[in-house]
Chain A
């Protein structure tokens, strides 16, 4: 297998990892106001993702940096094309990122409520915008023979892109609900299970509709792809299990549902990395967008040596904080 194909797969894995891990953080962020109930309840919800959200977000950064290093043309075209969408994404990332550390640092209800809403809205916008961006890669954007984007902000709002964004939001909501059910106790857990059930029904419908749309976009006929079938089954499993005591399995199922969704985009994309809606001969591909061979060799060595180490210590971190989070007997600042 050629090195640029390996890097395409690695970048796909990074995006899958980002959505599987940060996906439940987004879900918790969107849901915490509605499932938490009280101030303490909201804080319990936030603390379930407390030790991890930052490390999970790094998957996004590494995915972006890997695109820059391995496929400079892809990075340059995509990031300049999505300009204003990325500005909004960055503001959402600001709001959400600082809300964790800063939200609880003043005992002022307005301060806390403000950051809590920043977390909610930020957690909604990020999967929506990233979903639109990934959907647009596959749907195609106006790109000329020099790999330059020739459209404007409204060219980004393709129907398929928006549908991909909505699907990601719904899957993240489901993933967040199953995660909260797994990580909390008592009323918060009960509310999370109920929410997971309801969201799951919506997720099944949305996911099937989106899979069909994907088939239309790639001109794949009426035969669903294996990842699509797997993804739909995973969503159904997650929904069925969400109302039961099997919190762990429900969470695993919603994780697989997200992985299948992101995986589906990248599998459909290959060997393109970014489709041109102007002319398919202008498509960016793993061949014409890749960096030099030596650079890819160096990065492959670094990734092969250190990525397993990253997985080990991130896994250990998940193990350390595996217990459920509950409200302390007395509230403290």
Chain B
């Protein structure tokens, strides 16, 4: 019971936290790009767009930072057995994240926010780029830590049965890390682009500040097209890596119970799940699963039943099959929504070439609603990764079922779970109120902020 509750709490708080992280990474990049345009061209319009989207960034950073605190505390609070076992390896990237990323991000965000009239323009521009670098480093160390749970490398088990680090480079060149990190960074850029695009499209449809928001929509589309194209292939490569190191994950993603060669990919299925091994497959696409899982036309994909037998032999009795329903649908949600975003981006590119974006009301309407897609895809991606690792908390080394804190009771976790959920509802409500408000009416404030200060006057209060 306590274990299940701890899992529910971890899943809830992590998914929630990751609504905000990609926005921070993606938006800080785009704000830095806007400010660089201002620095290069001197066009004051870029300055006010920097401030406009900068405000959205700050509203978002506030909630991302505070929900991130829960993540760091939670390993020790709820997963003390895990923490004792892996701290010597897993803790190192977290400590490095603090020293290399969090200090950078927070200090330079303060300098950027309060430094508009205090710092030379070039230095001030460097501050927002430092913030972006901090967010990228932060994601890097978290992915190093997470990838180690997916595919442990560079460690040994010491005489007390704890994992200790033996090779830090192995963690940094872990293939699961390299491809996973690329995947997360691109996902963050896509999220940032779709947020900027949605806000810009809303104003373009209203006919407000058309020139300004056309500029930002254009930047978003130009960044989005290559990013989503690369992302689809990076996602594919990550699947190949996972098929190699965590074959259960990919077999479950195709609900492939028996070994196949070559393997087809079903577009949809009806039924399926742990108790239904013969779901009705709709539109099987020959060879596609072989290509996705192995990068070869006739590659072999091992079925869940065979893998289960192998794992039982290796690790003893138990159920080693992750939740097939989650795996099957989360990979499809990513693939299908990703394709839709690609089509939207290409349509946007075509409209830009013909200079008709501002008039295409249907395109703009779709852009507004498309803002939901990155959040759904990001969630699906983490569900695929984390649920697909089950029953392991560290692949092959420790099972989730034995890794929670023995001293923390189910009652205590109920209390914390309820407190966190209620707090997060309040935070989400306040965040939504502010994001919508500043997305719609933030330009007046951005104008005021972007105005050149009167010499000699005390600067206005930032908070």
Q: B-contacting residues of A (Cβ < 8 Å)?
A: 40, 43-44, 46-47, 50-55, 57-58, 61-62, 64-66, 68-73, 75-84, 86-87, 90-91, 93-94, 97-98, 100-106, 147-150, 153, 291-292, 294-295, 298-299, 302-303, 306-307, 310, 313-314, 317, 320-321, 325-329, 332-333
Q: A299 with B95: in contact, given A294-B165, A328-B457 (CB under 8 Å)?
A: yes
A47 touches B103 (CB 8 A): no
Interface code B400-431, partner A: CB below 8 Å = 1, 0 otherwise? 00000111100010011001100100010010
Taking the complex as formed, is B284 at the interface, i.e. its CB lies under 8 A from any CB of chain A?
no
A96 and chain B: residue at smallest CB distance? B66
- Chain A residues contacting B91 (CB-CB under 8 Å) are 65, 68-70, 72, 75, 291, 295
Taking the complex as formed, is B234 at the interface, i.e. its CB lies under 8 A from any CB of chain A?
no
Q: Of the candidates A72, A78, A80, which one forms a contact with B88 in the assembled complex, judged by CB atoms under 8 Å apart? A: A72
- Ranked nearest first, the 10 interchain pairs of A and B with the lowest CB-CB distance are A72-B87, A79-B76, A292-B164, A69-B91, A62-B98, A291-B88, A101-B62, A295-B165, A51-B110, A68-B91
- Chain B residues contacting A76 (CB-CB under 8 Å) are 76, 80-81, 83-84, 87, 405
A104 touches B463 (CB 8 A): yes
- Chain B residues contacting A314 (CB-CB under 8 Å) are 103, 107
CA distance A4 to B238 in the complex (A): 38
- Chain B residues contacting A75 (CB-CB under 8 Å) are 75-76, 83, 87, 91
Taking the complex as formed, is B69 at the interface, i.e. its CB lies under 8 A from any CB of chain A?
yes
A71 and chain B: residue at smallest CB distance? B87
B107 touches A317 (CB 8 A): yes
Interface code B57-77, partner A: CB below 8 Å = 1, 0 otherwise? 011011101110110110111
Min Cβ gap A333→B in Å is 7
B77 touches A91 (CB 8 A): no
Would you list 25 pairs from A and B whose C-beta atoms are within 8 A, ordered by A residue? A51-B110, A52-B110, A55-B110, A61-B72, A64-B72, A68-B75, A68-B83, A68-B95, A69-B94, A75-B87, A79-B73, A79-B80, A80-B78, A80-B408, A98-B62, A100-B62, A100-B463, A101-B58, A295-B88, A295-B91, A310-B107, A314-B103, A320-B119, A329-B457, A332-B461
A72 touches B103 (CB 8 A): no
A83 touches B88 (CB 8 A): no
- Chain A residues contacting B109 (CB-CB under 8 Å) are 54
Taking the complex as formed, is B352 at the interface, i.e. its CB lies under 8 A from any CB of chain A?
no
CA distance A275 to B76 in the complex (A): 18
Q: How many residues of B contact A (CB 8 A)?
A: 79
CA distance A314 to B130 in the complex (A): 13
B103 touches A295 (CB 8 A): no
CA distance A307 to B437 in the complex (A): 40
CA distance A47 to B65 in the complex (A): 19
Q: A-contacting residues of B (Cβ < 8 Å)?
A: 58-59, 61-63, 65-67, 69-70, 72-73, 75-78, 80-81, 83-84, 86-92, 94-100, 102-104, 106-111, 113-115, 118-119, 158, 162, 164-166, 168, 405-408, 412, 415-416, 419-420, 423, 427, 430, 433-434, 437-438, 445, 448, 457-463
A294 touches B164 (CB 8 A): yes
A50 touches B83 (CB 8 A): no
A64 and chain B: residue at smallest CB distance? B72
Q: A87 with B76: in contact, given A72-B84, A75-B87, A292-B165 (CB under 8 Å)?
A: no
A313 touches B107 (CB 8 A): yes
B73 touches A86 (CB 8 A): yes
A328 touches B430 (CB 8 A): no
A58 touches B463 (CB 8 A): no
A69 touches B458 (CB 8 A): no
A328 touches B460 (CB 8 A): yes
B434 touches A106 (CB 8 A): yes
A302 touches B103 (CB 8 A): no
- Chain B residues contacting A148 (CB-CB under 8 Å) are 80, 406-407
